[in-house]
Structure 1
Amino acid sequence: MKGQEWYQADDVAEEYDDKRFSQGGELIDQREKEAVLEAIAPLEDKDVLEIACGTGRFTVMLAARGANVVGLDISAAMLQRGRQKAQHVDVSGNLDFLRGDAGRLPFPDDHFDTVVAMRFFHLADDPEGFLREMRRVSRDQIVFDTFNRFSSRSIYNWALPMGSRLYSKSEVSVLLAKTELKLEAVEDDFIVPYGFYRSVPNVFASPIRRLDSLVGTLPITDHLSSVSYWNTSVR
């Protein structure tokens, strides 16, 4: 995993949500949660694994909606933040946090209905191996996102503390074929880069987001979108 030492630092975990999902970053948080919920609903009694769960943004949300969730992450500091969030929500009995490596998942085959990995695929050293591990422990569905090669993300990617691996649609399609996953749906979004939204107050970011969403509905702009949300099933 790229940037592993940086990611596990206590100060990074403490500031993670505020730096990425405050101000206009709230719009990113809302859209990502919407993408996950749309992909895996209904949630009641569904067994879900979230890989690289971080501070529990999705883990706690899914558990609060009735899923049985395990959140796995390599960072003890991130997991602690997730546990703190869970204390404020009624998720007793259907949420566990576990420290572990995404490349060697500590679960038997076909253990979960759904496996989710958001904000991680771009850091995977071995994307095919990572997908194979996800597929191994899932009996039904895998949901993940990628940052796109031909988007504005490529402009500032070099400045990020751990960089990102960017993918074209064809590259992801090849990975899905190699790992025998069936594409059910893919959505593209955010022509305006994430960094912009995080740097301005929501009152200014919101109208830009509305324009971004409108332009993003045009077929010609698909390849310019920063991120793609992939919903796949086990064949």
Structure 2
Amino acid sequence: MFKEFFKNVIKPKENFGGRFMVKGMNVGHEKLASWGRSFLNIEKDHNILDLGCGGGRNIEYFLTKSNKVYGMDYSKTSVEIARKLNREAIKRGRCKIIEGDVSSLPFEDNSFDIVTAFETIYFWKELEKTFKEIHRVLKKRGQFLICNEGAYRDHKNIKKWADMLEFEVYDPDYLKGLLEEIGFSCEYHFDNKEHIAFISIKK
């Protein structure tokens, strides 16, 4: 039962446990997300896409910086909560949040100035395909931010969760190499050698 509840980290269900987890992540991830967002250069006319948007807290922040923000998640529960949090911006046409698969983005080429992924790539099944999709929808010189709590699988707290929930923690140099092969310039930054942020620019 304990494991089943925490599977809501991966894909929150349409029940009390799923909704509780999504709302908790909005609060619990804010410190990490704030650090990660500091690597972005955001302008008011930028189009921003937050993938794996969860409960929509990052969308809420981006709406204070940009006129147009999109969110996408494959959890119906997450999408509903994110829409509720950002309902006023949605009504005004400044925000759109949809349910979808990150490996097949329903957006045109060169649509976004910034794409972000907070605490989510652990769960992406087709990583290379998804990175290529992100490269496709970004404008030239567009920014792609990955922000993860776990920089390495062997950190004791990360290993415990990765083993229990069977998700992948990628080696930083592997991710950097993959992003560069696809057509990004990429660098990564540590926060106390535990948290990690990748900032990649489409060439």
Match of 1:156 in 2: 160
Tell me the TM-score normalized by structure 1. Answer: 0.72
Question: Partner letter of residue 178 of structure 2?
Answer: L
Instruction: Report the counterpart of residue 167 of structure 1 in structure 2.
Output: 170
- 1:186 paired residue number: 188
5+ unaligned residues in a row in structure 1: which ranges?
190-215, 217-221
TM-score, normalised via structure 2 length? 0.82
Which amino acid letter does the alignment assign opposite residue 44 of structure 1?
A: K
Equivalent residue, structure 2, for 1:123: 123
Find the counterpart in structure 2 of residue 105 from structure 1: 105
> In 2, distance between residues paired with 1:129 and 1:115?
15
Partner of 1:202: none
- Residue 233 (structure 1) aligned with residue 201 (structure 2): yes
Letter in 1 for 2:199: N
Q: Cα–Cα, structure 1 residues 91 and 34, in superposed 2: closer, same or farther, change >3 Å?
A: farther
* Higher RCO by CA contacts (8 Å cutoff, separation 6 or greater): 1
How many residues align structurally? 192
Check conservation: 1:60, 1:95, Cα contact below 8 A: no
Structure with bigger helix share is: 1
Shift of 1:164: 2.2
Q: Secondary structure at the match of 1:128?
A: helix
The alignment partner of 2:93 has SS state of: coil
Counterpart of 1:144? 146
Q: Deviations over 1:203-227 (max 9, x none)?
A: xxxxxxxxxxxxx2xxxxx3xx1x3
Residue type at the aligned position of 2:42? P
Q: Which secondary structure state, in structure 2, belongs to the residue aligned with residue 39 of structure 1? A: coil
User: Radius of gyration: which is bigger?
Assistant: 1
DSSP 3-state at the match of 1:149:
coil
In structure 1, what residue type is equivalent to 2:197?
Y
Question: What is the identity, as a one-letter code, of the residue corresponding to 2:36?
Answer: A
Percentage identity across aligned positions?
Answer: 17
Root mean square deviation, CA, Å: 2.5
**Aligned pair in 2 of structure 1 residues 92, 137: CA closer, same or farther (>3 Å)?**
same
Find the residue that maps to 1:113 and give its secondary structure: strand
Residues 67 and 13 (structure 1), Cα distance of their counterparts in 2 relative to 1, 3 Å cut: farther
In structure 1, the partner of 2:11 is 7
**Equivalents in 1 of 2:9, 2:73: separation in Å?**
13
Poorly superposed stretches of 4+, deviation over 4 Å: 3-6, 88-91
Question: Do 2:22 and 2:54's aligned partners in 1 also have CA atoms closer than 8 Å?
Answer: no
Distance 1:135 1:86 in 2: 27
